[in-house]
Structure 1
């Protein structure tokens, strides 16, 4: 099981961390710097998702072990609403304050693209929606659906980012990721979640 999680973490890490390499391939050095700085700022939204999801693993595992599906369903719905809401509000704050933050962080003359900020927020919201469903699967080691979803995501998102960049500029990189995530990983999250609950024997 530890090896399965290790291999899944490699797959997700590769899928989620190729953007800087892609931007370095298709753009100049100042553009790469702008993208890297902006993504570091909006990584705070992903941190919110992680802080919400990790404590759910043992709690979901205990509830599933005792067959308490009602608790799992109720908690998962609540955490989906909380995660999406928290990331959306945090994203809105970052979007509105992006240039002020950039000036305080990097000095006068620095600004963050509105399109890039919005696309990174959308990307984070899609991840926030799926995270509680994946937490249920992870709590019992049901990783098969995620292997399929992340594999398809990696195969589709990387070429899609090369297509979206000429169309939308830097904003196209996370926008392509969000589109591929919605197509491949949202169904994976929902189907894997239902399959996990279906395995539980209710006493």
Structure 2
């Protein structure tokens, strides 16, 4: 019966336009956009994971193992430039979503969007200038440890084919944050779906026509960039011409404010990466590289479970920012609680399935049996359940621009968990590492974040909405 009522509610949301002057109308509009974005994100994520699986065989056969390894090594190395925007994308998404709930949206949004683009364009130009100065001085064959003369000669071209599109993409990719902030993330995901499809088609065309290894790598790097450029022009020229970035809308003071906010998100990203992804290094130090292989495979497999939770939680960031700015606190509290339970429920069910059928799944995936203990797998899955529970609450902090609390909890968590993982890993073995991480995460991260969100939502409007729905 509850499922039937929920279906009717969702159907009603999509059948009619929502009156944005009322609290209920705004709530319905947010829920509609969350559903659209989640569905588009799910399709995009499936394609993103499928593309490497579809193309790896043809690419590997065409390139050979050494050149393919060169491609993957360079790609992995320059993936570090994901942080090159210094958190400005996150800052724009937070501030722009909060502006949606205010009357002077358009004038401030123009300044915010234009200032963000100018700053990121400047960062990209500086990085490119440094790169082109240093490029001739570096022996790229030695950097990537090329084994043959042919691979060493190709390494310079491979670096150029991967690095330049990635840096140009720093300011270009800002469109995704803009769309996410305006609760139109589904548009961004549709373009990503198009990019994935075109990438597969292009790779096969290059291989069939024997257009060369460098062409294959360049096509793989440049297709997503070209699609994002099309997305940018279509969005600003057709859908939101009033927000088109212009130099005249650049504001230095707003840029300084945005930079300060963005640095906070930048620090959070680094701390989060260290705190949650340092386990392989710890295992290598206290055990051996063979143990790292087992641990990393199990860790990557369990992290796949969290993809669905990310899809559910991500659209809440912008929706929460707009709702909090309007004072719709009850909707934020209710939606966060609901999404947290849904996310945790999906993760728990997936975890049970993986625990029961883990050895069989790993053997099918890898093609051979690998000895991953039940205790290690259970510990890694426990961490994913905790992440699934708290993820929607982090979207409230992001929407509210609460950066300091996140920096504090992740800094303390990274220091304590890393230290304790080393100590207990030596004493009890590597199977204890995920349990120590989960315990530290629950105490140091989950409790402060949960109660901070409750405090944000605890005001007159929230209590009034709560009393009416009891």
From 335, 356, 359, the counterpart of 1:75 = 335
Residues 330 and 461, structure 2, Cα contact 8 Å, conserved in 1: no
Q: CA RMSD in A?
A: 1.8
Instruction: Give the SS at the match of 1:112.
Output: coil
After superposition, what is the alpha-carbon deviation per residue over 1:25-53, rounded to whole angstroms, capped at 9, x for unaligned? 01122111100111111111232232121
* Counterpart residue number, 1:42: 302
Deviations along 1:93-135, whole A, 9 cap, x unmatched? 1111211111112233323211111101111111112111111
Alignment of 1:104-143 (within 5 A): 104-143=364-403
Asked whether 1:64 is paired with 2:324, we answer yes
State whether residues 142 and 192 of structure 1, in contact with CA within 8 Å, keep that contact through their aligned partners in structure 2.
Answer: no
Q: 1:132, 1:141 → 2: CA distance?
A: 14
Q: 1:1-203 alignment to 2 at 5 Å?
A: 1-197=261-457
User: Which structure has the bigger radius of gyration?
Assistant: 2
Are the counterparts in 2 of residues 103 and 111 from structure 1 also a CA contact under 8 Å? no
- The DSSP-based 3-state class of the residue aligned with 1:139 is helix
Please give the alpha-carbon distance, in whole angstroms, between the structure 1 residues aligned to 2:401 and 2:349.
Answer: 32
C-alpha distance in 1, partners of 2:427/2:350? 27
Indicate if the aligned counterparts of 1:49 and 1:87 stay in contact, CA closer than 8 A. Answer: yes
Task: Count the aligned residue pairs.
Answer: 202
Deviation at 1:170, TM superposition (A): 2.6
- 1:108 match: secondary structure: coil
Q: Structure 1-normalised TM-score?
A: 0.92
For residue 15 of structure 1, report the CA deviation from its aligned partner.
Answer: 1.1
Shift of 1:68: 0.7
Larger mean Cα displacement after TM superposition, 33-42 or 125-134: 125-134
Distance apart, 1:167 and its partner CA: 4.8
Structure 2 residue runs of 5 or longer lacking an equivalent are 1-260, 463-470
Greater RCO, 1 or 2 (C-alpha within 8 Å, sep 6+): 1
Change over 3 Å in CA distance of 1:200–1:142 after alignment to 2: farther
Give the TM-score normalised by the residue count of structure 2: 0.41
Is the contact made by 2:340 and 2:392 (CA closer than 8 Å) also made in structure 1?
yes
Distance 2:399 2:262 in 1: 12
Give 1:76 shift: 0.9
Offset at residue 142 of structure 1 (A): 0.7
C-alpha separation in 2, matches of 1:39 and 1:94:
12
